[in-house]
Amino acid sequence: MGRRRVFVRGVGAVTPLGATWPLTARALEGGQCSIRTVSEFDVTGYPCTTASAMSGVTGSDRRMPLALAAAREAWLQSGLEKGARRTGVFVGAESGRPSFAAFVGMAKAAGSGTSFAREKFSLDERTLAFRGAAASPATVACALASEYAASGSVMTLSLACASGAAAIIEAVRAIRLGDCDVALCGGVSADVDPFMLAGFGLLGALSGKGVSCPFDVRRDGFVLGEGAAMLVLDTEPTGAIAEIQGIGRTLDAHHLTAPEPSGEGAARAMRLALGEARLAAVDYVQAHGTSTPLNDAVEAKALRQTLSHNLDRALVSSSKGALGHTIAASGALGLLCAVEAIAHGIVFPTVGLREPDSDCELPHVMGACVRREVTTALSNAFAFGGANCCIVAGRA
């Protein structure tokens, strides 16, 4: 018996550019950018003061409404009935973290000593929305499993910038193994808060200029983004938008945050995905393209190693110039861009890219979208710790 094929039946997304994937896609097609000065809290003194933030999203776990909305859109497009077939849920998500106000309340309750005044914390109105479950990465996947009557595998992947792509890869594997017949999968991020802005800033990962310009000579770091992207995968080709033809995962085992300089780990993940798809070339690459000096250069090197002369026939772009780096959601959003190219022949430009660095010589899409027939696409996601996730999609 051959390996079960996996098809994309539905997609959904919520981003600062649009409350649905079609709205986001049209904005990306037009070269719009959602990066703005952060207004949700005072960013005076922070190493980066801009982000692509979701405004008006509140609650003890801001990930939840984003993931639920993206999942609802993807499920409606799939046309499937809840609970009719064995469904698995696979979500890329980092810790939900309580609100900043809750942390402030906790700090005040603890005071300057080592004890904690529970009564004082409980009476602080700003902390009433705090729920312990909100701090768990698994909360979103469990909520989606309940919403969609999932009786198959349920899994949360917390793998930094590769979380969403890793969740999709695990969904594909589960379907192939027969653990489920349908999978709801993707990633969600609601990380524009004081902790993440300060943390990434201290690592030196954020842009001091506050600009995301992947592969450009001016790039100096990424800009945080928020959003969610979900897909419904199925074994049935009826009504499919695209097919997942190959997956690849590797680990650099090199450094906690920096990629291995030769790009071999990333190239190996690409080769695994292309090998499964039985391809030596693709029409389009949705690059990880973070806008950090080292990561972009290493990815460009890995792409040249992998595709060699076939790279010239491809188009390359990164959605992070428009949406910022959505961390756990970024790999899933990248795959949606690849699926859009396959389904509609529209390749989005890399917003912010004006003058490609000589270390990043690739067939970039700059300035405006390109309309071209795309039958195969590669989507990359590379994370802290050297975790590499690559997915090849093609026509159904």
Q: Give catalytic residue positions.
A: 161, 288, 325
Q: Using CA atoms, how far apart are residues 379 and 276, in angstroms rounded to an integer?
A: 14
Read off the tokens for 160: 């930094």
Read off the tokens for 243: 């097919």
DSSP string of 41-65, one letter each residue: S--TT-S--EEB--TT--SS-THHH
Q: Are 362 and 305 in contact (CB under 8 A)?
A: no
- Which of 359, 211, 379, 247 lies closest to 295 in space, CA to CA? 359
Q: Using CA atoms, how far apart are residues 388 and 386, in angstroms rounded to an integer?
A: 6
Give the per-residue SS3 of 323-384.
HCECHHHHHHHHHHHHHHHHHHCEECCCCCCCCECHHHCCCECCCCCEECCCCEEEEEEEEH
Q: Using CA atoms, how far apart are residues 96 and 59, in angstroms rounded to an integer?
A: 11
The type of residue at 335 is L
Angle made by CA atoms 242, 247, 253, in degrees to the nearest 5? 150
Question: Taking the mean position of all CA atoms in its chain, how far away is CA 90?
Answer: 13
φ, ψ (nearest 5 deg) of residue 265: -65, -45
**Which residue's entry shows tokens 């993931």?**
67
Q: Using CA atoms, how far apart are residues 148 and 127, in angstroms rounded to an integer?
A: 30
Which H/E stretch holds residue 207?
A: none
Residue 188 pairs in a beta bridge with 228
Q: Are 374 and 284 in contact (CB under 8 A)?
A: yes
